[in-house]
Amino acid sequence: MSDFDLVLSGTVVLPSRVIPQGYVAVSDGRIARIGEGPPPSARDRHALGSAYILPGGIDGQVHSRSTKGMEDFDASTRSAAAGGVTTIVDMPYDAGRLICTAERLGLKAREAQQQAHVDFALYATVHPDDGSKHIDALVEAGACAFKFSTFGTDPERFPRIPPHTLHDCFARIARHGLMAGVHNENEEVIRATEARVRATGVQGYRAHGLSRPTYSETLAIAQVYETGAATGCRAHIVHCSTGRGYELCAAYRAMGHPATIEACLHYLVLSEEDLVRLGGLGKVNPPLRDAAEKQRLWRHLAVGNITIVSTDHVSWPLERKSNPDMLANASGVPGLEVLYPLFIKECLDREVSLSWAARLLAHNPASLFCLEHCKGALAVGLDADICVLVPGPHEYDPQASGYNAARWSPYTGVRLPYKVQATYLRGELVFDGTRIHASPGTGRFVRPLATSPAASGL
């Protein structure tokens, strides 16, 4: 009789250390034992040599429904499984339906449940006209966090939340112990600078960065953290492109506030110089900054000033990303399929430890979204969500992979030294390195443990 359902042996990556000849044992969908040396018997046993056995990734910023007909949870979670990501946290800005009431969040959860190949959690938001009145009900419905914006992309789908309303919402969210994440760009600055850029006639790749200067970010970041300080709410910046933003986060944390901050994969891999070849394919908000700023972000990552790393994944059709007028293109890029292998590559190239990389992709996101009761690490009692990376140098081709709904990527042609050989969700194989095994509906809606002592200590 086997001791366990599944045993994987190889290089096991824990939040605090790496076990070169370790193993992970699984029973009933949860991690039952972690050890070193000869592995125990199991119904399903795999000796993986020097392969990295990592916790399944948690991508804290995914837009599965930004474009109708291009992508939904079926496509986004297939891409996630192929990239070693076992939980996605989906944003509330669905095309045609702002997720700002309990009824809408519940409907989204039910619809996503029918499609998802991996697990998912859901952000909620508010409509500016409603203010904080639906927040309690949204928490009851299972929201893991709330998302706001200091910049209005669209008055109905992606609205700006004015400062006084943001304060009221933060105060209400603080009662529940959840996090409030904010898109960090100052509306007044950007409207003025964009008008100036358009008046000059500049339309090429530099137009975007010129229209959204770094101080438009830091002004918004200061507003968010001051609002958090005034209300006791866990204030989070959902993407930061500039080193100064991470300095501000560290300063507020030093003052005792539970401030957190997120780096997107594209800010760590790409820079404004790459826009010469990428054009609209590299347009994101906030914009890519220059190579020197990118290096500042890596220094902040190395010293612990970055809380989590995410993709801000969104699939736009090519016609929305190929306008010669940079300002006319949609903002955002797909990234789920390469999050783990590309981030691990970049970390190892800079001598960032595997344990620290895994904390940024799994442990810290689980704490941030109050999911650490079931997700985030290779630890006894948690869900057996596992990513196996093996050496396998290859150039990433989003058209050949089959799991990129947009079929383009700003990372096309990047040489990756590792491949995702297997992704396990609660101990079951959902991706074997080539094929998705999970059927739609395999993924589950993950609710937060509403009060999370670990989260404030990230």
Q: Pick the closest to residue 92 from 238, 277, 272 (CA basis).
A: 238
Question: How many other CB atoms are found less than 10 A from the CB of residue 252?
Answer: 22
Fold for domain 56-375? Answer: TIM Barrel (3.20.20)
| DSSP assigned state of 412 | T
Q: What is the DSSP string of 217-267?
A: HHHHHHHHHHHHHHHT-EEEES---SHHHHHHHHHHHHTT---EEEEEHHH
Residues 431, 301: Cα–Cα separation, whole Å: 30
**Domain residue extents for the chain:** 4-53+381-431, 56-375
Architecture of domain 4-53+381-431: Roll (2.30)
What is the dihedral angle through the alpha carbons of 60, 65, 67, 68, rounded to the nearest 10 degrees?
A: 170
Residues 434, 310: Cα–Cα separation, whole Å: 23
pLDDT of residue 184: 96
Q: Pick the closest to residue 425 from 448, 404, 444 (CA basis).
A: 444
pLDDT of residue 452: 46
* Helix locations, 255-338, DSSP H: 265-269, 275-278, 291-303
Q: Tokens 């004015």 identify what position?
A: 162
For 129, 228, 314, 349, the CA distances from 96, given in Å and listed in that order, are: 17, 30, 16, 42
| Cross-strand pairs, 19 | 12
**36-65 burial code (b ≥16 CB/10 A, e <16):** eeebeebeebbebeebbbbbbbbbbbbbbb
**Residue 254: exposure state from Cβ atoms within 10 A (0-12, 13-18, ≥19):** exposed
The two tokens of residue 273 are 């110089």
Q: Yes or no: say if 136 and 168 are a contact pair by the CB < 8 Å rule.
A: no
Question: How many other CB atoms are found less than 10 A from the CB of residue 333?
Answer: 26
Return the ∠ at Cα 332 (arms to 342 and 430), rounded to 5°: 50
How many residues are there in the chain? 458
| DSSP assigned state of 40 | P
Q: Tokens 């506030």 identify what position?
A: 257
pTM: 0.96
> What are the 10-residue block averages of pLDDT along the chain, 458 residues in total?
89 96 97 96 94 98 92 97 98 96 98 98 97 97 97 86 97 97 97 96 94 97 98 98 98 98 98 97 98 98 98 96 96 97 97 97 98 97 98 93 94 97 98 97 93 52
**395-428 burial code (b ≥16 CB/10 A, e <16):** ebebeebebbbbbbbbbeebebebbbbbbbbbbb
Q: Yes or no: say if 427 and 29 are a contact pair by the CB < 8 Å rule.
A: yes
pLDDT of residue 68: 84
Cα end-to-end span (Å), the chain: 42
Q: What is the pLDDT of residues 59-69, one digit of tens each?
A: 999 999 998 88
Residues 348, 18: Cα–Cα separation, whole Å: 14
Preceding peptide of 39 cis, ω within 30°: no
pLDDT of residue 453: 44
Q: Yes or no: say if 158 and 238 are a contact pair by the CB < 8 Å rule.
A: no
The two tokens of residue 67 are 């474009």
In three-state secondary structure terms, 308 is strand
Q: Yes or no: say if 179 and 124 are a contact pair by the CB < 8 Å rule.
A: no
Question: How many other CB atoms are found less than 10 A from the CB of residue 27?
Answer: 17
